[in-house]
Protein backbone atom coordinates (compact mmCIF):
# COMPACT_ATOMS: atom_id res chain seq x y z
CA UNK A 1 0.00 0.00 0.00
CA UNK A 2 1.26 3.44 -0.91
CA UNK A 3 -0.96 5.40 1.42
CA UNK A 4 -3.53 4.35 3.98
CA UNK A 5 -5.56 7.04 5.66
CA UNK A 6 -7.84 5.86 8.44
CA UNK A 7 -10.44 7.98 10.19
CA UNK A 8 -8.30 11.13 9.92
CA UNK A 9 -9.46 14.12 11.93
CA UNK A 10 -7.76 17.51 11.79
CA UNK A 11 -8.57 21.02 12.85
CA UNK A 12 -7.35 24.52 12.19
CA UNK A 13 -7.32 26.45 15.43
CA UNK A 14 -10.62 25.39 17.03
CA UNK A 15 -12.39 24.54 13.84
CA UNK A 16 -12.68 20.87 12.86
CA UNK A 17 -11.97 20.52 9.13
CA UNK A 18 -11.28 16.85 8.49
CA UNK A 19 -13.82 14.67 10.24
CA UNK A 20 -12.95 11.09 9.55
CA UNK A 21 -11.23 10.60 6.20
CA UNK A 22 -10.66 7.07 4.98
CA UNK A 23 -8.63 6.59 1.82
CA UNK A 24 -6.41 3.85 0.46
CA UNK A 25 -4.06 4.50 -2.44
CA UNK A 26 -2.16 1.67 -4.08
CA UNK A 27 1.01 2.10 -6.17
CA UNK A 28 0.31 3.36 -9.66
CA UNK A 29 -3.18 4.65 -8.90
CA UNK A 30 -4.52 8.11 -9.63
CA UNK A 31 -7.11 9.36 -7.16
CA UNK A 32 -9.03 12.56 -7.69
CA UNK A 33 -10.40 14.31 -4.63
CA UNK A 34 -13.19 16.67 -5.51
CA UNK A 35 -15.49 18.76 -3.47
CA UNK A 36 -17.00 22.17 -2.94
CA UNK A 37 -15.06 25.05 -1.43
CA UNK A 38 -14.45 24.58 2.26
CA UNK A 39 -14.90 20.81 2.14
CA UNK A 40 -11.35 20.22 3.41
CA UNK A 41 -9.59 19.28 0.14
CA UNK A 42 -6.63 21.58 0.58
CA UNK A 43 -6.40 20.83 4.29
CA UNK A 44 -6.04 17.15 3.44
CA UNK A 45 -3.16 17.82 1.05
CA UNK A 46 -1.44 20.12 3.54
CA UNK A 47 -1.80 17.66 6.40
CA UNK A 48 -0.27 14.96 4.20
CA UNK A 49 2.69 17.21 3.36
CA UNK A 50 3.16 18.15 7.01
CA UNK A 51 2.41 21.82 7.04
CA UNK A 52 2.26 23.30 10.54
CA UNK A 53 -0.84 24.99 11.81
CA UNK A 54 -3.06 21.92 11.54
CA UNK A 55 -3.91 19.87 14.61
CA UNK A 56 -4.40 16.19 13.85
CA UNK A 57 -6.88 15.10 16.48
CA UNK A 58 -7.47 11.54 15.45
CA UNK A 59 -6.81 8.77 12.99
CA UNK A 60 -3.70 7.44 11.28
CA UNK A 61 -1.84 7.95 8.03
CA UNK A 62 0.46 5.17 6.93
CA UNK A 63 2.81 5.85 4.03
CA UNK A 64 4.62 2.80 2.69
CA UNK A 65 4.42 1.16 6.10
CA UNK A 66 5.60 4.24 8.03
CA UNK A 67 3.63 6.57 10.25
CA UNK A 68 3.55 9.64 8.03
CA UNK A 69 2.25 11.95 10.74
CA UNK A 70 5.40 11.35 12.81
CA UNK A 71 7.65 12.56 10.03
CA UNK A 72 8.87 16.14 9.60
CA UNK A 73 7.87 17.78 6.30
CA UNK A 74 11.38 17.52 4.86
CA UNK A 75 11.57 13.82 5.80
CA UNK A 76 8.33 13.17 3.99
CA UNK A 77 9.73 14.93 0.95
CA UNK A 78 12.96 12.93 1.08
CA UNK A 79 10.94 9.74 1.43
CA UNK A 80 9.09 10.55 -1.77
CA UNK A 81 6.03 12.62 -0.90
CA UNK A 82 5.64 15.65 -3.15
CA UNK A 83 3.10 18.43 -2.83
CA UNK A 84 2.53 20.62 -5.87
CA UNK A 85 1.31 23.89 -4.36
CA UNK A 86 -1.82 25.71 -5.36
CA UNK A 87 0.10 28.95 -4.86
CA UNK A 88 3.83 28.24 -5.28
CA UNK A 89 5.86 30.86 -3.39
CA UNK A 90 8.29 33.25 -5.00
CA UNK A 91 11.84 33.29 -3.66
CA UNK A 92 13.88 36.01 -5.37
CA UNK A 93 17.60 35.72 -4.67
CA UNK A 94 17.80 31.94 -5.04
CA UNK A 95 17.67 30.59 -8.55
CA UNK A 96 15.28 27.93 -9.68
CA UNK A 97 18.12 25.62 -10.58
CA UNK A 98 19.70 26.13 -7.17
CA UNK A 99 16.55 24.94 -5.43
CA UNK A 100 16.24 21.97 -7.79
CA UNK A 101 19.79 20.96 -7.03
CA UNK A 102 19.45 21.50 -3.28
CA UNK A 103 16.23 19.48 -3.20
CA UNK A 104 17.58 16.62 -5.29
CA UNK A 105 20.78 16.42 -3.28
CA UNK A 106 18.92 16.52 0.05
CA UNK A 107 16.98 13.50 -1.17
CA UNK A 108 20.08 11.70 -2.46
CA UNK A 109 21.95 12.35 0.78
CA UNK A 110 18.97 10.93 2.70
CA UNK A 111 19.25 7.76 0.62
CA UNK A 112 22.99 7.60 1.24
CA UNK A 113 23.83 8.48 -2.35
CA UNK A 114 26.51 10.89 -3.54
CA UNK A 115 25.84 14.38 -4.82
CA UNK A 116 24.52 14.51 -8.36
CA UNK A 117 27.13 15.19 -11.02
CA UNK A 118 26.81 18.79 -12.23
CA UNK A 119 26.84 17.90 -15.93
CA UNK A 120 24.40 15.01 -15.57
CA UNK A 121 22.12 17.26 -13.58
CA UNK A 122 22.16 20.01 -16.18
CA UNK A 123 21.42 17.51 -18.93
CA UNK A 124 18.51 16.07 -16.96
CA UNK A 125 17.03 19.47 -16.16
CA UNK A 126 17.33 20.72 -19.72
CA UNK A 127 15.57 17.65 -21.05
CA UNK A 128 12.72 18.09 -18.56
CA UNK A 129 12.20 21.81 -19.15
CA UNK A 130 11.93 21.24 -22.87
CA UNK A 131 9.15 18.74 -22.37
CA UNK A 132 7.30 21.28 -20.18
CA UNK A 133 7.67 23.98 -22.80
CA UNK A 134 9.65 26.21 -20.43
CA UNK A 135 12.47 28.49 -21.50
CA UNK A 136 15.93 27.58 -20.26
CA UNK A 137 16.24 31.05 -18.79
CA UNK A 138 13.68 30.04 -16.17
CA UNK A 139 16.34 27.97 -14.49
CA UNK A 140 18.42 31.00 -13.71
CA UNK A 141 15.66 33.28 -12.49
CA UNK A 142 14.66 33.46 -8.84
CA UNK A 143 12.38 30.63 -7.72
CA UNK A 144 8.99 31.45 -9.28
CA UNK A 145 10.03 35.11 -9.38
CA UNK A 146 7.69 37.01 -11.65
CA UNK A 147 6.40 33.78 -13.20
CA UNK A 148 2.88 33.77 -14.57
CA UNK A 149 0.34 31.47 -12.94
CA UNK A 150 0.86 28.87 -15.65
CA UNK A 151 4.63 29.08 -15.41
CA UNK A 152 4.49 28.54 -11.67
CA UNK A 153 2.40 25.41 -12.09
CA UNK A 154 4.70 24.08 -14.79
CA UNK A 155 7.60 24.77 -12.48
CA UNK A 156 5.95 22.60 -9.84
CA UNK A 157 5.70 19.81 -12.37
CA UNK A 158 9.35 20.39 -13.32
CA UNK A 159 10.37 19.95 -9.67
CA UNK A 160 8.26 16.81 -9.54
CA UNK A 161 9.90 15.45 -12.66
CA UNK A 162 13.38 16.04 -11.21
CA UNK A 163 12.63 14.67 -7.74
CA UNK A 164 10.74 11.62 -9.03
CA UNK A 165 8.50 11.24 -5.98
CA UNK A 166 6.57 8.10 -5.10
CA UNK A 167 3.43 9.92 -4.07
CA UNK A 168 2.46 13.13 -5.84
CA UNK A 169 -0.20 15.35 -4.33
CA UNK A 170 -1.41 18.09 -6.66
CA UNK A 171 -3.33 20.79 -4.83
CA UNK A 172 -5.68 22.60 -7.22
CA UNK A 173 -3.01 22.52 -9.87
CA UNK A 174 -5.61 23.41 -12.51
CA UNK A 175 -6.71 26.64 -10.83
CA UNK A 176 -5.93 29.74 -12.83
CA UNK A 177 -4.70 27.84 -15.88
CA UNK A 178 -5.91 28.44 -19.40
CA UNK A 179 -6.57 25.41 -21.55
CA UNK A 180 -3.14 25.38 -23.21
CA UNK A 181 -1.29 25.57 -19.90
CA UNK A 182 -3.59 22.92 -18.49
CA UNK A 183 -2.68 20.57 -21.32
CA UNK A 184 1.04 21.10 -20.80
CA UNK A 185 0.70 20.45 -17.08
CA UNK A 186 -1.44 17.37 -17.71
CA UNK A 187 1.06 16.04 -20.26
CA UNK A 188 3.80 16.57 -17.69
CA UNK A 189 1.86 14.60 -15.10
CA UNK A 190 0.93 11.84 -17.54
CA UNK A 191 4.57 11.47 -18.52
CA UNK A 192 5.35 10.73 -14.88
CA UNK A 193 2.70 8.04 -14.49
CA UNK A 194 4.22 4.64 -13.80
CA UNK A 195 3.05 1.40 -12.27
CA UNK A 196 4.70 2.42 -8.99
CA UNK A 197 3.98 6.12 -8.70
CA UNK A 198 0.70 7.26 -7.19
CA UNK A 199 -1.15 10.55 -7.57
CA UNK A 200 -3.71 12.42 -5.53
CA UNK A 201 -5.29 15.18 -7.57
CA UNK A 202 -7.15 17.70 -5.47
CA UNK A 203 -9.46 19.72 -7.67
CA UNK A 204 -12.65 21.67 -7.67
CA UNK A 205 -13.39 21.15 -11.34
CA UNK A 206 -13.70 18.14 -13.54
CA UNK A 207 -11.79 19.87 -16.34
CA UNK A 208 -8.35 18.61 -15.26
CA UNK A 209 -9.69 15.05 -15.34
CA UNK A 210 -10.34 15.32 -19.07
CA UNK A 211 -6.58 15.28 -19.46
CA UNK A 212 -5.44 13.19 -16.51
CA UNK A 213 -7.70 10.19 -16.30
CA UNK A 214 -8.21 9.13 -12.68
CA UNK A 215 -8.72 5.56 -11.51
CA UNK A 216 -10.90 6.73 -8.64
CA UNK A 217 -12.87 9.84 -7.87
CA UNK A 218 -13.81 10.77 -4.31
CA UNK A 219 -16.14 13.49 -3.24
CA UNK A 220 -15.25 15.33 -0.09
CA UNK A 221 -17.91 17.21 1.82
CA UNK A 222 -17.82 18.55 5.34
CA UNK A 223 -14.53 16.86 6.04
CA UNK A 224 -15.46 13.35 4.98
CA UNK A 225 -15.42 11.32 1.79
CA UNK A 226 -19.09 10.97 1.04
CA UNK A 227 -18.96 9.30 -2.32
CA UNK A 228 -16.42 7.33 -4.31
CA UNK A 229 -16.52 6.01 -7.83
CA UNK A 230 -14.65 5.82 -11.09
CA UNK A 231 -13.98 8.59 -13.58
CA UNK A 232 -17.64 8.79 -14.49
CA UNK A 233 -18.43 10.23 -11.06
CA UNK A 234 -16.51 13.34 -11.99
CA UNK A 235 -18.62 13.78 -15.11
CA UNK A 236 -21.77 13.39 -13.07
CA UNK A 237 -20.54 16.06 -10.66
CA UNK A 238 -19.77 18.33 -13.57
CA UNK A 239 -23.33 17.94 -14.80
CA UNK A 240 -25.19 18.16 -11.52
CA UNK A 241 -22.89 20.30 -9.37
CA UNK A 242 -22.16 19.51 -5.74
CA UNK A 243 -25.67 20.34 -4.53
CA UNK A 244 -27.13 16.87 -5.01
CA UNK A 245 -24.38 15.30 -2.86
CA UNK A 246 -25.23 17.61 -0.03
CA UNK A 247 -28.91 16.85 -0.49
CA UNK A 248 -28.19 13.13 -0.38
CA UNK A 249 -26.21 13.61 2.81
CA UNK A 250 -29.02 15.60 4.37
CA UNK A 251 -31.45 12.83 3.45
CA UNK A 252 -29.27 10.19 5.11
CA UNK A 253 -28.93 12.31 8.23
Partner 1 sequence: MSPGPNPDYCEHFNALGEQLPGAGSAWVNHARRMALAQFDQQGFPSPRDEDWRYTNVSAIEKKRFKPLITSGDAAADADWLNRYRLTDAWSLVFVDGRFSARLSDIHDLPEDVTVQAMSAALANPPAAVEAEFGRVVGQTSRHGFVSFNTAFFTDGVLLHVPADTVLSRPVQIIHVASQPEAATNLRNLVILECGAQAALVETHLSMESAGSLAVSITEAVIRERAQLDGYLLHGASQRAFRFGGFYVDVGTAGHFTHTNLSLGGLLVRNEIHVDLAESGQCALDGLFVGQGRRHVDSHTRVRHRGAHGTSRENYRGVLSDRSRGVFQGRIVVEPQAQKTDAQMNNRNLLLSDEAEIDTKPQLEIHADDVKCAHGVAVGQLDPESIFYLESRGVDPVSARNMLTFAFANTLVDGISLAGFRDIAQDALLALFPEAGIRKDWL
Closest approach of partner 1 to the CB of residue 231, in Å: 28
* CA-based torsion, 195, 197, 202, 207: positive or negative: negative
Q: Is residue 191 at the binding interface for partner 1, with CB under 8 A as the rule? A: no
Q: Is residue 91 at the binding interface for partner 1, with CB under 8 A as the rule? A: yes
| Distance from C-alpha of 209 to C-alpha of 200, rounded to nearest angstrom | 12
Contacting partner 1 (CB under 8 A), which of 9, 31, 41, 101?
Answer: 101
Closest approach of partner 1 to the CB of residue 80, in Å: 10
Contacting partner 1 (CB under 8 A), which of 38, 51, 123, 241?
Answer: 51
Q: Which is nearer to partner 1, 141 or 183 (CB)?
A: 141
Contact 210, 84 (CB under 8 A): no
Q: Is residue 138 at the binding interface for partner 1, with CB under 8 A as the rule? A: no
Q: Is residue 103 at the binding interface for partner 1, with CB under 8 A as the rule? A: yes
| Distance from C-alpha of 130 to C-alpha of 134, rounded to nearest angstrom | 6
Q: Is residue 88 at the binding interface for partner 1, with CB under 8 A as the rule? A: yes
Encoded one letter per residue, x for contact with partner 1 by CB under 8 A and - for no contact, window 20-49 reads -----------------------------x
- Integer angstrom CA distances of residue 219 from 29, 154, 204, 228, 234: 17, 26, 10, 6, 9
| Distance from C-alpha of 114 to C-alpha of 133, rounded to nearest angstrom | 30
Closest approach of partner 1 to the CB of residue 58, in Å: 23
| Distance from C-alpha of 166 to C-alpha of 141, rounded to nearest angstrom | 28
Q: Is residue 163 at the binding interface for partner 1, with CB under 8 A as the rule? A: yes
Which of 206, 227, 218, 220 lies closest to 38, judged by CA?
Answer: 220
Terminus-to-terminus CA distance in the chain, angstroms? Answer: 32
Q: Is residue 1 at the binding interface for partner 1, with CB under 8 A as the rule? A: no
Contact residues: partner 1, CB under 8 A: 49-52, 72-74, 76-78, 82-83, 85, 88-89, 91-95, 97-99, 101-103, 106-107, 110, 118, 142, 159, 163
Amino acid sequence: MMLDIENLHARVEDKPILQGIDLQVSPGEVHAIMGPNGSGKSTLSHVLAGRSGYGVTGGTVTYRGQNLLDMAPEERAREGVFLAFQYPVEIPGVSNIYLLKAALNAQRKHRGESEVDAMDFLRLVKEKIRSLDLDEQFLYRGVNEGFSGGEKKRNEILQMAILEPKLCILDETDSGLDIDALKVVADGVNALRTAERSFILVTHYQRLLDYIKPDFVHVLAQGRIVKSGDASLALELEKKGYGWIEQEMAAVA
